[in-house]
């Protein structure tokens, strides 16, 4: 709950930024392909760099320090986007750099924060724990775009809306300092080996992640390839004249509300039915491009809602399954490796959607659908391998 409240404030900052990233870059001279590459690269950094920061957290044990530093990068970089419209030809380069730096902050904090959450949520159910955290997180993700939309609509100055985001950024850092100071949880994830086999007591740097983990990471990577960034979707909304630029953050806020509900429902369901609840994810993603890049606002809004459903499941329940697939001593490392799979897929997906949506939408729809068939097949393989490993463990325990 405490981390959820911190994330609520921080999400107002970076989700407010993500809601307007496409239109902001477009106003600075970026094309649809450039927006797709920049926003896709941002997600790639936010996910792929966790391969390094996750191992760093497990080796150093500095989970709290990395979490704080990552939040600070977000709180500083996003408000600085307010100066980019005044920098002339340098504005696009500076805006791109700040967006990528903000996503770097996400990469720095996420493995450490997720590892801490996985441990403290274990007694009540990891699906439920990640779901409640995500729901609180999404309240901020809903409020941030509304705040930036209100300021932009009232003043007619998008840059001022970014400047206002410095307030929730400062609040998030103050709240995190209070959480660290007052929390009763002072241990580190690596110290908890209760859920891991005896062999997992080895240092995180030498521990091997199981095959089931890599099958699942590959499944989610195939899904991420089709789940394009909202930056490309928002660019399409403005470029096609479907809505005024000030309305785009409101549409994004709607997606964040849908994402919160999806995280809660799917997270609670996970604790009862386990990984079976994830079978719906590839089906949802398959519909996103055809709906989100349609020519009518109604279909686009439907596509954004489906996008929010898929994103909510992918960013909450998926993390619960990762925690159940690996030893607790390698949690941050596993989250880092998993995010690297998603990061590479996000970069390719951003370029794919940005490059094909205007003139080759049919091809994009077919490619995404094919990727989701692969994603579902890998998810089924994960379940099969996991069931086989459980049966083997039961046999060993009985004979032992």
CA distance 385 to 13: 40
Confidence of residue 375 (pLDDT cuts 50, 70, 90): very high
End-to-end CA distance of the chain: 41
CA distance 354 to 228: 9
Q: What is the pLDDT of residue 206?
A: 41
Q: What is the pLDDT of residue 9?
A: 92
Torsions phi, psi of 196, nearest 5? Answer: -105, 155
Q: What is the pLDDT of residue 189?
A: 53
Model confidence pLDDT, tens digit, residues 105-140: 999 998 888 887 777 777 777 777 777 887 888 788
Model confidence pLDDT, tens digit, residues 61-90: 888 899 999 999 999 999 999 999 999 889
CA distance 226 to 292: 12
CA angle 116, 120, 122 (to 5 degrees): 115
Q: What is the 3-state secondary structure (H, E, C) of the chain?
A: CHHHHHHHHHHHHHHHHHHHHHHHHHHCCCCHHHHHHHHHHHHHHHHHCHHHHHHHHHHHCCHHHHHHHHHHHHHHHHHHHHHHHHCHHHHHHHHHHHHHHHHHHHHHHHHHHHHHHHHHHHHHCHHHHHHHHHHHHHHHHHHHHHHHHHHHHHHCCHHHHHHHCHHHHHHHHHHHHHHHHHCCCCCCHHHCCCCCCHHHHCCCCCCCCCHHHHHHHHHHHHHHHHCCCHHHHHHHHHHCCCCCHHHHHHHHHHHHHHHHHHHHHHHHHHHHHHHHHHHHHHHHHHHHHHHHCCCCHHHHHHHHHHHHHHHHHHCCHHHHHHHHHCCHHHHHHHHHHHHHHHHHHHHHHHHHHHHHCCCCHHHHHHHHHHHHHHHHHHHHHHHHHHHHHHHHHHHHHHHC
CA angle 162, 312, 22 (to 5 degrees): 35
Model confidence pLDDT, tens digit, residues 203-228: 444 457 888 899 999 999 998 888 87
The pTM (predicted TM-score) of the whole model is 0.66
Ordered structural domains, the chain, with CATH: 2-182+204-399 (1.20.1250.20)
CA distance 356 to 336: 30
Q: What is the pLDDT of residue 66?
A: 92
243 pLDDT more than 90:
no
Q: What is the pLDDT of residue 185?
A: 55
Instruction: Kindly report which listed range (179-193, 263-277, 342-356) carries the lowest average pLDDT score.
Output: 179-193
Confidence of residue 167 (pLDDT cuts 50, 70, 90): very high
Query: Would you tell me how many other CB atoms lie within 10 Å of the CB of residue 308?
Result: 25
Of 264, 75, 54, residue with least CA distance to 167: 75
CA distance 236 to 355: 12
Average pLDDT of every residue of the chain: 82
2 pLDDT more than 60:
yes
184 pLDDT more than 70:
no
Of 38, 47, 11, residue with least CA distance to 165: 11
Q: What is the pLDDT of residue 105?
A: 94
Instruction: Kindly report which listed range (44-48, 96-100, 256-260, 368-372) carries the lowest average pLDDT score.
Output: 44-48
Q: Which residues have CB under 8 Å from 125's CB, separation 6+?
A: 271
Highest mean pLDDT out of 40-49, 266-275, 281-290, 334-343: 281-290
Average pLDDT over residues 257-272: 81
Contact 160, 261 (CB under 8 A): no
Model confidence pLDDT, tens digit, residues 20-33: 888 888 888 888 77
């Amino acid at each position: 709950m405490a981390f959820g409240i911190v994330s609520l404030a921080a999400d107002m900052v970076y989700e407010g930024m993500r809601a307007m990233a496409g239109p902001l870059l477009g106003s600075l001279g970026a094309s649809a392909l450039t927006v797709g590459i920049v926003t896709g690269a941002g997600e790639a950094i936010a996910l792929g760099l966790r391969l390094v920061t996750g191992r760093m957290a497990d080796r150093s044990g500095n989970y709290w320090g990395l979490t704080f530093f990552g939040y600070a990068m977000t709180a500083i970089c996003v408000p600085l986007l307010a100066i980019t419209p005044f920098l002339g030809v340098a504005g696009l380069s500076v805006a791109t750099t700040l967006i990528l730096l903000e996503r770097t902050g996400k990469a720095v904090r996420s493995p450490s924060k997720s590892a801490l959450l996985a441990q403290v949520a274990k007694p009540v159910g990891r699906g439920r724990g990640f779901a409640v955290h995500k729901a609180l997180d999404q309240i901020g993700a809903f409020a941030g775009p509304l705040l930036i939309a209100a300021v932009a609509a009232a003043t007619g100055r998008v840059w001022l809306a970014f400047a206002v985001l410095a307030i929730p950024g400062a609040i998030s850092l103050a709240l995190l300092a209070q959480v660290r100071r007052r929390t009763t949880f002072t241990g580190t994830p690596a110290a908890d080996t209760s859920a891991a086999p005896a062999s997992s007591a080895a240092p995180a740097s030498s521990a091997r992640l199981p095959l089931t983990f890599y099958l699942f990471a590959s499944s989610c990577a195939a899904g991420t390839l089709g789940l394009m960034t909202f930056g490309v979707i928002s660019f399409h909304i403005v470029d096609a004249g479907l809505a005024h630029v000030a309305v785009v953050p409101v549409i994004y806020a709607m997606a964040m509300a849908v994402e919160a509900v999806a995280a809660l429902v799917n997270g609670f369901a996970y604790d009862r039915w386990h990984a079976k609840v994830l079978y719906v994810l590839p089906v949802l993603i398959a519909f996103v491009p055809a709906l989100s890049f349609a020519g009518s606002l109604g279909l686009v809004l439907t596509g954004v809602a489906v996008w929010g459903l898929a994103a909510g499941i992918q960013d909450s329940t998926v993390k619960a399954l990762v925690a159940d697939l690996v030893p607790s001593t390698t949690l941050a490392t596993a989250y880092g490796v998993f995010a690297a799979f998603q990061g590479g897929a996000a970069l390719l997906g951003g370029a794919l959607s940005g490059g094909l949506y205007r003139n080759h939408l049919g091809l994009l729809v077919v490619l995404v659908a094919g990727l989701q068939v692969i994603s579902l097949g890998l998810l089924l393989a994960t379940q099969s391998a996991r069931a086989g490993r459980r049966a083997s463990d039961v046999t060993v325990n009985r004979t032992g």
